[in-house]
Amino acid sequence: SYELTQPPSVSVSPGQTASITCSGNKLGDRYSWWYQQKPGQSPVLIIYDDKKRPSGIPERFSGSNSGNTATLTISGTQAMDEADYYCQAWDSGTYVFGTGTKLTVL
Amino acid sequence: EVQLLESGGGLVQPGGSLRLSCAASGFTFSGYAMSWVRQAPGKGLEWLSAISGAGGSIYYADSVKGRFTISRDNAKNTLYLQMNSLRAEDTAVYYCAKDRGDWNYFFDYWGQGTLVTVSS
């Protein structure tokens, strides 16, 4: 089965850039999607089709996908961005989620 | 405004059954694939099952194949998950999620979730 691996945690200082990676076999050959989940809340789509932002998602969120790695980048990170982030791909009839990354804004 | 409202969660004994419902509004329900996703306490997201807009295509994760059944009633704008032979490890918040299309393979809206606790 297809697997997506993320670092368990990433720390960033306010105003700095945070990068969260998502690794999977030939992930760059398929689309990747990203969700943000704050404590006690449902996930929210923040990046679709590798790099597109849904309406209402701040421009500081961006995505890329190449080779075996998709990357979520948060520029000018704010305290409100502290959350869990999940990547997702689709493979042979299954929606595959990454292992999740807890972003801490110190 | 898209709304997804799950119900049916609760406490159930191991080996028991439960049926979850997800009432949808704000979009043409029959035009979109829908899924169930769960999250065990303190754990990550786990996709369980998906069904096409017309209900003719269904997929399951290996972890629930043979025990869970997804279905939908497009006349009632409602998605269901029948869960049988429940185990302690099925304890989780269960979300219904709307696919961006039929199929676009990602979720643009999620419900608020319903908690299922499997315990004696």
Q: How many other CB atoms sit within 10 Å of the CB of residue B99? A: 22
A5 shares contact with chain B (CB less than 8 Å): no
Which DSSP category does A53 fall into? Answer: -
* Cβ-based contacts of A54 with chain B (< 8 Å): 108
Put simply, the answer to whether A33 touches B106 (Cβ < 8 Å) is yes
Q: Are A47 and A88 in contact (CB under 8 A)?
A: no
The 10s digit of each residue's pLDDT in B3-16 is 999 999 999 999 99
CA–CA distance, B28 with B49 (Å, rounded to integer)? 20
Over the stretch B58-99, which tens digit does the pLDDT of each residue have? 999 999 999 999 999 999 999 999 999 999 999 999 999 999
DSSP 8-state symbol, A37: E
Q: Do A44 and B110 touch (CB under 8 A)?
A: yes
Residue of B nearest to A90 (CA): B105
Mutate which of B2, B38, B45, B47 to test chain A, going by most A C-beta atoms within 10 A? Answer: B45
Q: Cα Rg for chain B, rounded, in angstroms?
A: 13
Instruction: Give the mean pLDDT of B7-34.
Output: 97
The CA distances from residue A75 to A13, A14, A31, A66, A72, in Å, are 11, 10, 22, 20, 10
Cα–Cα dist A59/A67, whole Å:
24
Task: Tell me the per-residue pLDDT of A22-78, one tens digit each, with 9 for 90 and over.
Answer: 999 999 999 999 999 999 999 999 999 999 999 999 999 999 999 999 999 999 999
- CA gap A72, A45 in Å, rounded: 12
pLDDT of res. B90: 97
